[in-house]
């Protein structure tokens, strides 16, 4: 069974200096891209592999209403980044170090 690592939620209360730290975006630098840590929904940890679930900012939906009654749907998208120790050894180490640092 895979282990799930949830990114900690930051506390918004505090002094001005603490608030500045909270609102600064943090990124994980991979070999080919940067990932904003605020967009990480969860990380599934399996032996020699990570699945990073990233929440999209895109939301789709519709609403159909007649005479005060209606139906509708709202959905967002979650993409998945696979980081395998065999295929992406450098990125795997980067994610492993980031997880260890934030445990």
Each domain of the chain, given as residue ranges in start order, spans 3-101
pLDDT value of position 24: 53
Give the chain's end-to-end CA distance (angstroms, integer): 20
pLDDT value of position 13: 52
Mean pLDDT by 10 residues, the chain (103 residues): 48 50 70 88 93 81 73 77 94 92 81
pLDDT value of position 18: 53
The residues, ordered by sequence, that sit 6+ positions from 91 with a Cβ below 8 Å of its Cβ are 30, 31, 83
In this structure, the number of other CB atoms found within 10 A of the CB of residue 1 comes to: 4
pLDDT value of position 97: 92
For the question of whether the overall pTM of this predicted structure is more than 0.85, the answer is: no
């Amino acid at each position: 069974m895979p282990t799930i690592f949830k990114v900690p939620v930051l506390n918004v209360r505090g002094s001005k200096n603490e608030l500045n730290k909270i609102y600064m975006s943090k990124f994980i630098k991979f070999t080919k891209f940067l990932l904003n840590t605020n967009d990480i929904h969860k990380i599934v940890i399996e032996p020699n592999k990570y699945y990073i679930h990233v929440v999209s900012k895109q939301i789709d939906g519709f609403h159909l209403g007649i005479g005060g009654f209606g139906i509708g749907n709202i959905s967002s998208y979650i993409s998945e980044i696979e980081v395998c120790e065999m295929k992406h050894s450098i990125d795997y180490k980067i994610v492993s170090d980031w997880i260890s640092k934030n445990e």
